Every structure is written in structure tokens, then in C-alpha cells.
Amino acid sequence: MTHDAMGATTESPSSIILPEQVAAPTVPPVHSDPAPTPTPAPAPAIAVIAKDPIHWGRIGLVTAAYLGSLIAFGVVVATKGADPFSVYHTMVKSTILNGGSLQQTVLRAIPIALAALAVTIPARAGLVNVGGEGQLIMGAVAATGIGVALGGHVAGPISWVAMAVAGALAGAVWAGISGILRTALNANEAVTTLLLNFIANDVMLYLIYQPWKDPHGSGQPQSRPLAHAAVLPRLFGSQLNIGLVAAAVVAVGTWYALQRTGWGFALRVVGGNREAARRAGLRVNRLLLSSMLAGGALAGLGGALNLAGVETQLRPDVTVTFGYVAFLASYLGRHDPLKVVAAALLFSAIALSGNGLQLTNGLDGAIVDVLLGLIVLAPLVMAKKRGRAT
Amino acid sequence: MNGIEQTLIGGVEGGTAILLPALGELIGERAGVVNLGTEGCMLGGALAAFAAAAVTHSALLGVGAGFVVGAAFGGLHGWMTVRRHADQLASGLVVWFLALGLTSVFGTSYISRVVNPLPVLKIPGLGSIPWVGPILFDHDILVYAGYVLVAAIWLAFYRTRAGLVLRATGERPEVVAAAGGHPQLVQLAAVAVGSGLAGVGGAQLSVGYVGNWFNDMTSGYGFVAVAVVLFAAWRPIRVLGGAYLFGIALAAASVLQAHGVAVNQYLLDALPYLITLIALVAFARRGSSEAPEGLARALAQSG
């Protein structure tokens, strides 16, 4: 135990120069693989493992951890009187085996993936954005405001672009508040983004219960619907819409910006060692703020695309915890943009399967939150002392 | 009873539901572990307390159940972060998600059920003082537990050896280990006990202040508790002030509505979070330098 405690504290927050590497007689360059040693060295990140000779034992352990999560979820549903096998069957069948549901899974993945990338970008610079929920909401709010105001007066494409831009701006502003509070006043961004989620939700509820309330709506209050022309057009008669194309372009752009540009590299340097970055002449605060703004813009865009393409009007549950699901997706994808998008697709499927479980197996739809938590728990528990995503 | 008095009474009562989790979070953070799962521990504690009170007809047994379930969720967080070195913030959110899912699944049968809430105990003598009495000395037992805990934690932190070891663990675990202590055990215990208090805070909602159970009933109070510890700069007395500030803001929102102030309910609902945010920002610069070193390190590695 003593050894563990010591190990935990000697671990450097820097991913640039690890103490182990300094101590080793042959210091490997930063980007090469750490030499495999027989000592019980801290398990490296999965991203690093992928380049190492394959560690079958470790892969076995990680697989076992995921299986353990699935079994644990099976136990939970069993205590509610459902047959675990039937539950998993429903989940697979209702999300990917049927063309229509598969399209729904992809559609719902748009806001999750964009909000997850909104976690990924600041994470590169060492910031924690837990505000995806609020940024999604503000994006949807801004898109509704612009979309309803423009109504049917302008051509569709103008509305679409205006809503997307407004959503991205609103998301950027919302995340930017936490960014400025962090850089100017040193307020912890994980906590401020969290608090802003609740404020965003109350702002949205205020709007749909009062000034924006649809006078023709019945039952649950909601905003006026978008004009038909303002709704994002579908792709080739499918349920998918052009928001998917926009999201895909933005996701690839994010990958490019993070992996192939000086900005992306600078963020990683800042995230690795802030002091070293400052001494190297990087404008640390400006980079930190830019990562929050960029992230917030992505999440806001996600909220806007979801509203303009799927929801078409603001209602109280418009985000249904997608912002938090996105946070977990970014961790599951280890802040690697492509893996993060894959994780978002998986989580979209799981979140969507709640409906199927409710209908087919008589379970409360919220039970999928348990599975989401368990699936992220597995890699968290197995990634003992992981490094940063590269 | 005027509006201000009503607000202060409600502030102490509702503030206790923040105070207990915040004191729990304070213990954990002083040992070097931040727990965003406080929200989940509260939620789990709230349902456990309500269910136990519904079954046993004893709200006090409910409080006990709240502690146990909160500590169980906290134990998971402690195991993940201390033993498995998982990212503290991500682990906390995982715990919250598990609690959110489990409580909505297992809580459905308790929605709209009625339990005997915690009785109000008016303290003889003190409770009869005009103004001060009703505000401070005419509440359920958990409110008084909050007073006692603040004093006890202050004494334990600064006047006992155990408190010294706890604080040292949060600053430099290697020093504690070198002195023959067991920093990991200290952290596990601190997180479990702290989360137990979060569970009791949930109980204060479900069998005390609010008096029923509904899904996601903690609505972010656990996150507020984490924020309170931050802007209180890890000091027990300031935690008390911060928690009551949030409680007063909550109570003010409902008192204003009851008095027919023509402000939208949802804008008033945002007020407590906004005040917490402002307080956090106002104290951020001074507070962060007082963070336990181990905590700062753990957070720097996050992401």
C-alpha cells in the first residue's frame, strides 16, 4: 500500500517528460513508445498500448472488466424481474438491427458526439468541461430563437445556417463564461460549467413557460415550432438530415485541428505542462480560453442541429442528459476525436434502447443510465495511472 | 411571521441539505479526493431514507439507511480513485450516473407515497427566544446534527492527531506513509464517511425538508455542495456559511413566489445556482492557493 501511495504522488502531471523516462538510462524521445520493462511499471494509456507489442494479458483483463459491467447490469435488470438475455436482445434489436432504429441511433449521436468533442478539446489543454448539457441547451435555445423569428420569411438554407451559427455562438459564450472565469479569476472550470448547466436549464424553462410559449400547444409547454422551411431537410428520403453531414464535417475538422495543426499541438503542450508551455512562449491563457470557446461552439452546434433537424421545437426534456452522456463518451474515447465519436454512437444506441426496454421488457427507461455508468467504469478502473491521450 | 424570517427559517432547513454533503465533501477533499458523485450519494441516500422510513415507519432508521447507501456509493468512488487511480472527476460522474439510473428504477414504487417525516424538535428555552428561536432552534434533528458536526469537524481537523493525519494525507501522502501511516486507508475512510454524510443530506430532503421522493430530487445540490467546499477554501465554518447562503437563496425563491412577486418561477429557480457561481468566483482567487496539495495534483492530472 505504501508503495502505491508513493507511486501515485511521484507521477508527474506532465505527459511530456515522465519521471520514469528521465530515470531510464536510454531516454526515449517523446513520441516513441516507452520501452517495455519487466518491472510493474504504471500501465500506460490504451493509446500507447496500441503501438506497443500487443499485451494479451492486459487486453484480457480489460475485456473481462467490460464483461463484468455487462454481467452487473444483467444482475440489476434481473432484480427488476426482467430476463437479462431478453434485455440485451431488445437493446441490440431496437437500436442497430432495424434500419429505422439504426438511423435514429445515428441521429441521436449527433448532439452527443459534438458535445463529447466539446469535452475533448479543452481536455487536451488540461481543462475539464462538464458543461456539455448547458452548452447543448443554449445552442438549442439560440437556434429556436433565430429559427422561429425568421419563420418562413427567408429561404431554408439561410435559416439553417443562421440557426447553426447562432447555436455555435451561444454554446461558445456559455462555455466562454467558464473559460474567462478560469483564466482571469482562477475559478475551477469543472464546477462553474456544472453550475451553468442548471442555470441554462432554468433559462430554457423560463423561455418555454413564458415568452416563447406556443399558444396553440396543449399539455406540456413548448416553444412555437419551426417553420417547415427552417427544418433541416432529410437526406434521400431517409430519417437522416443534412445535420449529419455538417456534424461529420465538423468532427473531421476537429480531428484535423487537434492532430495536425499548431493550435492542436500547442493545446497538448499546455495540457502537458502549463509552466513549460509558458516558458516556451505559448500564450497559455489565450489557448485555454480558445479551447473552451471551440468546445462550447461544437456543443452549441450540436444542440442547434438536434433542434433544427429532430426536435423542431423547444421542450423541457430537449437534451435529456445528453451533455453528461457526452462527457462520459469523451472519457471512454480517451479524448481521441475518432474514438470519441465511436463512443458517442455506442452511447446513443444505449440511450435510445431505453425506449425499447420500456416497451418490451417493462423496465424504467432510466435504467440505461446504469449501463452507461458501468461501461465507463470498466476502463476507468482498468486504466491504472493512465497517461494523457496523445 | 414576515418574509425575511420565513426565508431564514427555510434557509437553515434547506441549507442543511447542502451543509451535510458539503461537510462530507470537505472531509474527502481534505484527504485529497474530490467526489462529484456527491450528487449521486445524496440521491441514493434520499431514496434509501425514504424507502426505509416507508417500510419501518421510522424516519430515523431512514436517516441511517441514507448514510449506509451514501457510504456505499462513496466506497465505490473511493475504490476507483484511491485503489485503481481512476480519474477523480470522471469516476464521480460515473457514480452519479449509476445512482441516477438505480434510483429511478428502484424508486418508482415510492413515488407519491407518504412517510412520517422527521419530527420537529423545539429546543426548550432557546427555541422560545423571539426571532432567533424559530430560525435556529425549532427544526428536525438533522439541522442540529449540522451544527454539531461543524464544531466537531473543526475540532477534529485542527485539534486532534487524526485530523492532522487526514490533512497531511491530502497534502503529502508520501509523508504520511513515511511516518508509518496508511494514506490509502485514510482516503478510503474519508470518502466513505463523507459520502455517508452526503446520503444523510439526501435524507434531509426526502424525509425532512421536502418530505417525499421523486426522480432526480436532488437537482444538482450535490454539485453545489462541491462548489461550496471550493469557495469556502476548505474551512468548516465557511462551509456552514456557504451552505446556508444557498439554502437562503432557495428559500427566498419560494417565499417570493408565495408573496406573489411577479418574477418567473424558473428565473427564481436559477437564483441559488447563480449566487453559488458568484460566490465561487468572488472567492476563487484567494481560495485556490489554499487547496490541499494532493487535491490540486489529482485535479491537474484529470482530463
Q: What is the pLDDT of residues B192-251, one digit of tens each?
A: 999 999 999 999 999 987 888 998 899 899 999 999 998 888 999 999 999 999 999 988
DSSP class of A65: H
In a domain, B189, yes or no: yes
Question: Within a domain: residue B302?
Answer: no
Q: Could you report the per-residue pLDDT of A320-377, keeping only the tens digit for each?
A: 789 999 999 998 888 899 999 999 999 999 988 888 888 888 788 888 889 999 998 9
**Is residue A5 scored above 80 in pLDDT?**
no
pLDDT digits (tens, 9 = 90+) for A247-305: 999 999 999 999 999 899 999 999 888 888 888 888 889 999 999 999 999 999 999 99
pLDDT tier, B82 (very low <50, low <70, confident <90, very high otherwise): very high
Shortest alpha-carbon distance between residue B148 and chain A (Å): 28
Residue with cell 446534527: B145
Asked if the model's pLDDT at residue A40 lies above 60, the reply is no
Binary contact (A373, B269; C-beta < 8 A): no
d(CA B142, CA B162): 25
Domain contains A293: yes
What stretch of H or E contains B108? none
Task: Give the number of domains in chain A.
Answer: 1
Residues 137-196 of B with CB under 8 A from A: 172-174, 176-177, 182-185
Q: Is B216 part of a structural domain of the chain?
A: yes
* Mean pLDDT across A304-320: 85
CB count within 10 Å of CB A219 equals: 5
Q: Which of A138-142, A219-223, B36-40, B72-76 has the lowest mean pLDDT?
A: A219-223
**Within a domain: A286:** yes
For cell 468532427, the residue is A251
Specify the residue for cell string 426522480. B215
Report yes or no on B195 lying in a domain.
Answer: yes
A28 falls within a domain: no
CA distance B63 to B153: 20
pLDDT for A24 beyond 90 = no
Q: Quote the number of domains for chain B.
A: 1
User: Residue A23: inside a domain, yes or no?
Assistant: no
**ipTM of the prediction:** 0.90
Q: Does B281 touch chain A (CB under 8 A)?
A: yes
Distances (CA, A) of B69 to A135, A183, A201, B103, B105: 32, 38, 29, 11, 16
CB A333 within 8 A of CB A311: no
Amino acid at A293: L
Residue of B nearest to A180 (CA): B281
Q: In this structure, what CATH number is given to the domain that contains residue A274? A: 1.10.3470
Amino acid at position B231, single letter: F
Q: Does B215 fall in a domain?
A: yes
Nearest-Cα residue of chain B relative to residue A188: B284
Would you say residue B66 lies in a domain?
yes
B174's grid cell: 508520501
Q: Which domain holds residue A240?
A: 60-382
CATH of the domain at B65: 1.10.3470
pLDDT at B176: 92
Q: Torsion over CA of B287, B289, B291 and B295, rounded to 10 degrees? A: 130
Answer yes or no: is A12 within a domain. no
Q: Which residues contact A189 (CB under 8 A, 6 or more apart)?
A: A122, A127, A128, A129, A178, A179, A181, A182, A292
Cβ A331 vs Cβ B89: under 8 Å: no
Alpha-carbon distance of A118 to A103, in angstroms, equals: 23
Give the mean pLDDT of B101-125: 88
Residues of A in contact with B294 (CB under 8 A): 9
Residue B9 structural domain: 3-296
Cβ-defined contact of A190 to B100 (cutoff 8 Å): no
